[in-house]
Amino acid sequence: MNNPFRVRGHGHVDPDTTLSFTFDGRTYTGHPGDTLASALLANGVHHVADSIKYGRPRGVLAAGAEEPNALVQIEAPFPEPMLTATTVELYEGLVARGLSGQGRLSDRPDPARYDTLHAHCDLLVVGAGPAGLAATLTAARSGARVILVDELPQPGGSLLGSQELLDGAPATTWAGDVIAELGTCADVQVLRRTTAFGHYDDGLVLALEKRTDHLGAAAPAHVSRQRIWRIRARQVVHATGAHERPVAFDDNDRPGIMLAGSARTYLNRFGVLPGRRGVVFTTNDSAYPAALELAEAGVRIAAVVDAREEVPEHWRTACEERGIDLRAGHVVTGTSGTGRVSRAHVAAFAQGRLGDRRGVDCDLLLVSGGWNPAVALFSQARGALRYDAEAGAFVPAQPLDTVRTAGSAGGTFTLSGCLADGADAARRALAAIGGTGRAVSLPATVPLPATVPLSDGAPAQVLWRVPSPRDGQDGTHQFVDLQRDALVSDVLRATGAGLRSVEHVKRYTTIGTAHDQGRTSGVMTSGIVAEALGVDIADLGTTRFRPPVVPVAFAALAGRNRGELFDPVRVTALHPWHVEHGALFENVGQWKRPWYYPGAGETMEEAVLRESRAARTGVALMDGSTLGKIDVQGPDAGVLLDRLYTNVMSTLEVGRIRYGVMCGVDGMVVDDGTVIRVAEQEFLLTTTTGNAAKVLEWMEEWLQTEWPGLRVHLTSVTEHWATIPLVGPRSRDVLALVAPGLDVGNDAFPFMSWRDATVAGVAARVCRISFSGELAYEINVPAWYGIGVWEALLAAGDAFGITPYGTETMHVLRAEKAYPVIGQDTDGTVTPQDLGMSWVVSGKKPDFVGKRSFTRAENRRDDRKRLVGLLPADERVLLPEGAQIIATSGIPEPPVPMLGHVTSSYRSAALGRTFALALVRSGTERIGDTLYVPLDGRTVPVTVTDPVLFDQEGTRRDG
Amino acid sequence: MQLIACPWCGKREETEFHYGGQAHVAYPEDPYALDDEQWAQYVFFRDNPRGPFTERWVHAAGCRRWFNALRDTVTHEFLAVHDSRTDQPATASTALASQRRKGQEAGR
C-alpha cells in the first residue's frame, strides 16, 4: 500500500489490488472497495472543489449520498456530471475533477444501454443494514416473496462503518451469512448497488440499479449500465437508516471538517484515516465511538468538545484511559485554516453565553449534531412525521397500512433495537397481508455499558447553531447548506422578510434544493427558523420530501425508450414501397404517412404542384390505409349510427355510401368520415387518421353507458385493410384495366356506391368516393395484398402518367374543395353549420347527439365564426396557418380585435396561386370583403371568398 | 402510479384508464322539454365535491369496458368500483382514505 492515510487491519477494500485513477489532473491509486472519496482521503486529498457562490475551498463532509460538498465530474471513460465522490465506486482508469456546483453533459451520444424491469413482491425491504437484514430474513424464512434493495456494493449498511460485534464476531460476518442464506431462497431477490428513489401510490417503488458503473471501461457492452426497477410491493419496510447532521458555527465549511459517523465509516469500511490530529465536537453520545476508534487506529484526538454539561461516566472513563481531553459544556465556535482546517476555537457554553475562546490545533474536526432518520421515502408514501424532541429529529408518526419503517429510519438507534425492530416490522407486514412471520433468532449484541458501544446513554442536546463570537451574531460565516453556499444569515434574512413557513424559506434561500436534497441542512434550517420566530419546531415542521431521493440520470429514466423505440411507429402495408421510392414522411399520430415524393432536384413546392396537377388532369394514387376503420355489426347497428351521426344512416342501402359528421352533446364537430353499408346488419365507417381510437372510445361510451340494450358490436379494423385512393379524370381507365370484370361506367357504378370486385386478381372492395372533387375510386384489399395491387395500379396507369402523391397534395386537393380536416379546420368550437354543412344535419330525426345544442342561443348567433376561403391580394403570398385576421390595414393599439384565424393554407396548381381556408367571425356575410392578416410587421390584404374555390358546380366527380 | 381495479380485469395501472367524469348523469329523457339553461346544466355542469365522488372510468388500454367507481377526490383512493350494468360494487377497497388524508394534511 502506498496510500499515506491507509491503515492496515481495517476496512473492506482489497489491499492486494491497486487501481490507478486521476483527479484534477493528478494520478493516484486506490483499491477495489474504495469510493472516489475514500481513495482521495487515503491520499490525503481533502479539497475537492471550491464552493459555487463564495469560491471557498470545500472538502468531503460525509461518506454517503448525504454528501453536500464533494461533487465531481467524471471525464473518462464517459463524461458524466454531478456525481458525489462518496458514492462513485473506484475503478481502474477513472478520470474525474471537482465541480463548483455545475457539471457538463457529454456532447456525444451515450453509448451505454439502460433498461427497465418490472417486479412484484409481498414485501420490499429498502436497506440492507441491521434492521433491513433482520426484516428480510424474517420474511424469507416465512416463505414470502421478498425483494431487498441496498445502495451499497456489499451488505451491512451502518455495520460496515462500525466495529460492532454480533454473536462475538464482526457484525459484517453476520451480514454476509444472512445474504448467503437469502441467496438460497427461491423467492428472495437481493439487489445491490440499487437505490430506491421514489415511493408512489399503491406500493410502487422505483429503484435505480447501477449495474456496470463500477467497472469503468471494462463494463461489458451487452449489459445495461443502469436499470430502473419498477417494484410493486404489497408491503414495504423502509430500513433506510439515518443521516448525521452537523451544527452550524463560524467557518464550519473548511476541508477537514467532517461528520463524526462518516469519519468512523472511512476508518472501518475503507481503512482510511481522515486526518492525523482530530477535534471532536458533539451534542450526543454517537461521536464517542468515532473518537475512540480513530484514536485506537492512530489519530491523535486532541479534544472531545461536548456541548452537554452531563457526559455519561463510561465515556468520561474511556476518554481518560486514552488521554483524550474531554471538555463538557463546551462548543466549537469557529475554525482557522488556509485550504484546510488547522485550528478549532473552543469555548465554554452555558445559558446561551460563550466563555473565553481557546484554540486547539487539528487537521480534522469531527462534528455530530445528532441523527435525522432517513424518512424521505416514508414521507413520499404520505406517511406523517412527528418531531421527537429528545432526538431533535422528525420521525415517522405511525406506520401506514402498507408501509412501515424499521431501525434508525424510525428513530431506533441501538443495534439490538434495530435488529428487533426489523424482525418485528417484517412480521407486522406479513400479518397485514394475511401471512405469518416466523420468529427468527437474532444475533447477540454486546450489552452496555462497554468500551465501544453505539450510543445508548445520556440524552442528546439539541443544538442547531453555536452563537457567533463575531459582532452582531448574524451568522454571516455559518453555513447551513454547503452546496448552495447558504448561510444562517440567509435564513435570518428570510424570517426577517416576514417568511413564516419552512417551504418559503427553502425557496427564498435555496437551502435543500441541491443534489443532496438538504439531508444535512433541512432539519437544521427548521431549527434555526423556529428559534428565530420563537415557535416550536414541532409545529413548524419540515419541508416536503419529493422524489427522486437521489439524482437519477434522464438516460436511466428513458431506458430503452430512445431513438426508434421512443414512441411506437405505425406503418402501412405499403410503407416499404414509399421508402424505396424516396418519399418523405409526415407523422400523423403514430403513423408515418408519405408527405410527398420529390423527383430528382425537385423542391417540395415543385413536387406538390406536379402531384396535384396529375390528380386534376390525369391520374394519381395515394396510400390511404391509415384512415380509421370501425366495423359496426348487429341488429341495432343502424339505430346506433342514427343516434351518433347528424344524418340518417339506417336508411342507407346495402352497396351505398354516405358521408357523415358526429358531434358532441355540445353540438361541436367530433369527427367526420364515410359510412358504407356492407350488409343489412353491418356498417363500416371511416374516421380521421388521428382520431380513430378516440371515435371508437366515443362510440363505446354511448353504447355501453347510455344504450346498453342496443345489440351492436364495434371492432377496429384499421390495419386489416390497405386502402388506395385512385384519383383523377383517367382513374376510370386505369381501374377498368386492372378490374376487367367490373362495370366501371357511371350508371353501373355511381358516385357514393361500392362494389365487390377482383382488382389485379385480388378480392377487393371498391368505393366511389372522393376527397379531391375528382372522379376517384378507393380500392380496399386485405393488407397482405396491398403492395401487389399498388404495383398493378402503377403498371396499368403508366400509359396515363400515373403519379403517387402524399398527404401534402391530398391537403391541397381537399382544401380547394373546402373539405375540412377535423382538428385542423376545427378546434372543438365549430358546428357543422359553421363549416357550411347544414345539409349533413338531418331535420327528420327526432334526436341525435348534439341536436339539442344546435338550438341554443349561443349556437344560433349570426356572428359565429364560419369557414370561408381567403385569397391573398398578392397571389404569391402563402399565409401561415394559425395567422390572425383583422379588419384594418394598420394594426390598431392593443387589444387588437381579432376576427378569426387561418386554418389551412396552400399553393394551388389548379388555381395558379396561393389560397387559404379560415374561420372568420360572420364569415359568410363578409364574402367579397377585404380583410387583413398581420405578417412580419406588415399586413397582407386578403379577399374573403366562398370556401369552395375549385369546381363549385361539382362537375368533375363523375369524370 | 395508482392501481385501479377494473371489474373485469382486476388491478391495472392508472395509465390504462381514461376518466369519464361524474357518473349517473343520464342523457335527458326529452332534451326538447328543457330550456337552454336546463340543457346547459346537463352539457356543461358537473359536481366537484371534496371527498367521495361517483365517477365513470373506461379501461381504454384493456377490455374497453366502462364502469363506475367511488373515488375520494382528496386522496385519489378508489373506495369501490362497480359493474356499470348492475351498478353493484364489484370489489370493496380496505379504505385507506382517512389515513392517507391525515398523512397529507400533516405533510402540508
Phi/psi at B46 (5° precision): -135, 155
Domain A575-625+720-805 sits in CATH at: 3.30.1360.120
Among A199, A202, A854, most B C-beta atoms within 10 A, so best to mutate, is A202
Phi/psi at A570 (5° precision): -105, 130
Q: DSSP label at A442? A: P
Of the candidates A836, A835, A824, A832, the one whose C-alpha atom is nearest the C-alpha of residue A850 is A832
**Residue pointed to by grid coordinates 451499497:** A152
What is the predicted pLDDT for the residue at A593? 97
- pLDDT, tens digit, 9 for 90 and up, residues A565-586: 999 999 999 999 999 999 999 9
Domain A112-244+371-438+543-566 sits in CATH at: 3.50.50.60
What is the predicted pLDDT for the residue at A459? 77
- pLDDT, tens digit, 9 for 90 and up, residues A890-934: 988 999 999 999 999 999 999 999 999 999 999 999 999 999 999
Q: DSSP label at A706? A: I
**CA–CA separation, A327 and A291 (whole Å):** 13
CA A20 to chain centre: 36
**Lowest-confidence range among A150-154, A455-459, A536-540, A868-872?**
A455-459
Whole-angstrom CA distances from A130 to A415, A428, A608, A675, A954 are 7, 17, 72, 69, 84
Cis peptide before A804 (omega within 30 of 0): no
- Would the pLDDT of A396 be above 70? yes
Proportion of chain A above pLDDT 70, given as a percent: 98
Is residue A505 within 8 Å of A498, Cβ to Cβ?
no
The residue ranges of DSSP E strands in A351-427, in sequence order, are 353-361, 364-368, 371-373, 385-388, 393-396, 403-405
CATH class for domain A470-534?
mainly alpha
Contact (CB<8Å) B96/A401: yes
Is residue A400 within 8 Å of A116, Cβ to Cβ?
no
Among A116, A385, A705, A707, most B C-beta atoms within 10 A, so best to mutate, is A705
The whole-chain average pLDDT of chain A stands at 94
- pLDDT, tens digit, 9 for 90 and up, residues A757-776: 999 999 999 999 999 999 99
Whole-angstrom CA distances from A631 to A62, A226, A689 are 65, 45, 15
Contacts of A384 in chain B (CB under 8 A): 102-103, 106-107
Contacts of A856 in chain B (CB under 8 A): 36, 39-40
What is the predicted pLDDT for the residue at B82? 85
What is the predicted pLDDT for the residue at A474? 83
Contact (CB<8Å) B66/A397: no
Q: Which helix (H) or strand (E) holds A180?
A: helix A171-182
What is the predicted pLDDT for the residue at B106? 46
Is residue A90 within 8 Å of A34, Cβ to Cβ?
yes
**Lowest-confidence range among A179-193, A452-466, A507-521, A689-703?**
A452-466
Q: Which amino acid is at A172?
A: T
Q: Which fold has domain A1-111?
A: Ubiquitin-like (UB roll) (3.10.20)
Q: Which fold has domain A246-369+449-467?
A: FAD/NAD(P)-binding domain (3.50.50)
Which chain B residue shows the shortest CA-CA distance from A432?
B94
- pLDDT, tens digit, 9 for 90 and up, residues A116-158: 999 999 999 999 999 999 999 999 999 999 999 999 999 999 9
Contact (CB<8Å) A852/B34: yes
Q: Which amino acid is at A650?
A: S
**CA–CA separation, A741 and A750 (whole Å):** 16
Residue A544 pLDDT class (50, 70, 90 cuts): confident
Other beta carbons within 10 angstroms of residue A309's beta carbon come to 12
- Would the pLDDT of A54 be above 80? yes
Cis peptide before A109 (omega within 30 of 0): no
A922-929 contact pairs (CB < 8 A, 24+): A922/A862, A922/A863, A922/A864, A922/A866, A923/A865, A923/A866, A923/A867, A923/A868, A924/A836, A924/A866, A924/A868, A925/A862, A926/A868, A927/A868
What is the predicted pLDDT for the residue at A447? 61
- pLDDT, tens digit, 9 for 90 and up, residues A253-305: 999 999 999 999 999 999 999 999 999 999 999 999 999 999 999 999 999 99
What is the predicted pLDDT for the residue at B92? 39
Residue A450 pLDDT class (50, 70, 90 cuts): very low
Locate all alpha helices (DSSP H) within chain B, ordered by sequence: 36-44, 97-107
Q: Which residues of A901-911 are buried (b: 16+ CB within 10 A; e: fewer)?
A: bbbbbbbbbbe
- Would the pLDDT of A449 be above 60? no
What is the predicted pLDDT for the residue at A337? 95
Query: Dihedral, CA atoms, A898, A882, A824, A770, nearest 10 degrees?
Result: 100
Which chain B residue shows the shortest CA-CA distance from A231?
B1
Query: Any idea which architecture A628-716 has in CATH?
Result: 2-Layer Sandwich (3.30)
Residue B90 pLDDT class (50, 70, 90 cuts): low
Q: Which residues of A508-521 are buried (b: 16+ CB within 10 A; e: fewer)?
A: bbbbbbbebbbbbb
Contact (CB<8Å) B32/A847: yes
Proportion of chain B above pLDDT 90, given as a percent: 73
**CA–CA separation, A502 and A523 (whole Å):** 10
What is the predicted pLDDT for the residue at A131? 97
What is the predicted pLDDT for the residue at B99? 43
Q: Judged by CB atoms within 8 Å, which residues 486-545 of A form the interface with B?
A: 544
Q: Which fold has domain A862-945?
A: Elongation Factor Tu (Ef-tu); domain 3 (2.40.30)
- In sequence order, the 6+-apart residues with CB closer than 8 A to the CB of A419 are A130, A131, A134, A442, A443, A445
- In sequence order, the 6+-apart residues with CB closer than 8 A to the CB of B33 are none
The residue ranges of DSSP E strands in A15-63, in sequence order, are 19-23, 26-30, 49-50, 57-58
Contacts of B26 in chain A (CB under 8 A): 706
Closest CA of chain A from B27, distance in Å: 7
Other beta carbons within 10 angstroms of residue B46's beta carbon come to 11
Of the candidates A39, A56, A392, A14, the one whose C-alpha atom is nearest the C-alpha of residue A251 is A56
* Sequence spans of domains, chain A: 1-111, 112-244+371-438+543-566, 246-369+449-467, 470-534, 575-625+720-805, 628-716, 862-945
Q: What is the pTM of this model?
A: 0.89
Is residue A85 within 8 Å of A41, Cβ to Cβ?
no
Across A445-469, average pLDDT: 69
Q: Does A706 touch chain B (CB under 8 A)?
A: yes
Tell me whether the CATH fold assigned to A112-244+371-438+543-566 matches the one assigned to A246-369+449-467.
yes
Residue A437 pLDDT class (50, 70, 90 cuts): confident
CA A925 to chain centre: 50
What is the predicted pLDDT for the residue at A455? 47
Across A187-192, average pLDDT: 97
Contact (CB<8Å) A384/B3: no
**Lowest-confidence range among A241-250, A449-458, A495-504, A623-632?**
A449-458
Is residue A877 within 8 Å of A913, Cβ to Cβ?
no
Proportion of chain A above pLDDT 90, given as a percent: 90
Q: Does A322 touch chain B (CB under 8 A)?
A: no
What is the predicted pLDDT for the residue at A438? 84
